[in-house]
Amino acid sequence: MTAICEDRDEDVNDGEMPQDPPGFLVIVNLSGPPRSWTSRDVSLAGIADRFPTDPEPEFVTIRKDDVAAVTLQENNWVVLVQLATGEIVGDFDAGTSTHAADLQEDDQISFTDTLTDARREPDGIVWTPGGRLATANEGDYDLDLGAGEFTGGRDFTLFRTDGSILFEPGSSLEEAAADEGFYDDNRSENSGCEFEGVALGEYGPRPYLFVGSERCDFVGVCRIDDETHPELVQLLPTGDRPEGLLAVPHRNLFVTANEGDGTLSIFRFVKD
């Protein structure tokens, strides 16, 4: 399955949505030799409330029973698709987040402000072993919101498939980044660390969730044995602006592709 975003043109009407053409999904059947492969398009128009004619699907993940989940980032929406039929079998608004944050670029890092009703606008998404969905809440769409309002949850969320929240760390991941010298105060009035990508891998007997920070150049590593309470165990320093995250547990490796400097960061898992 492939998400065709049809990203908006920032030079057209100051990048305001909606814009044509609408994005969509492509389901590719890989049975047999390549010449016999077939594809089907799945429309995602008319689902999200904000820009129903311009879904802009961003990232997709597939469960073992062939149900895909796709983020409509700028629409702040998640859609579930049955691959066998292409049927939309669920969708939900990703909602807003309110928690402590550093919202001022003042050369001081202090999580004493409050991020209030910030639309999560999830980018990366992955199924968890328990059949939930983990999203990286980057934010993206720049609306004229007025003072004190932001997009991007500055964290990650574990959702149940009905859209209810199982877990969200609030400011704790950015605070951990500040403690280890990763947090950049110049991001405080923007979208903070901008958590963009997520990946999941089982290393040894334990599942780990990886959450990449595009703007502060690290990946947070959480054990999720208990999906109601992920445990942050490590921050991995990466190259500039990690975009792609790949868990390779059968080789005890984890890899990031770093957009800013064109590098890869490769990590090896070592047992506790």
Per-residue tens of pLDDT for the chain, all 272 residues = 889 998 888 888 888 899 999 999 999 999 999 999 999 999 999 999 999 999 999 999 999 999 999 999 999 999 999 999 999 999 999 999 999 999 999 999 999 999 999 999 999 999 999 999 999 999 887 655 445 456 789 999 999 999 999 999 999 999 999 999 999 999 998 889 999 999 999 998 899 999 999 999 999 999 999 999 999 999 999 999 999 999 999 999 999 999 999 999 999 998 76
SS3 label, residue 38: strand
Strands 133-137 and 113-119: unpaired
SS3 label, residue 172: helix
Residue 107 is encoded by which pair of tokens? 């050369």
pLDDT at residue 10, as a whole number: 83
Taking CA atoms, 109 is separated from 106, 181, 218, in Å, by: 8, 10, 17
Question: 210, 175, 180: which is closest to 192 by C-alpha?
Answer: 175
pLDDT at residue 8, as a whole number: 85
| pTM, 2 dp | 0.94
Strand partners, 40: 27
pLDDT at residue 145, as a whole number: 47
Question: 40, 41, 79, 33: which is closest to 57 by C-alpha?
Answer: 79
pLDDT at residue 149, as a whole number: 56
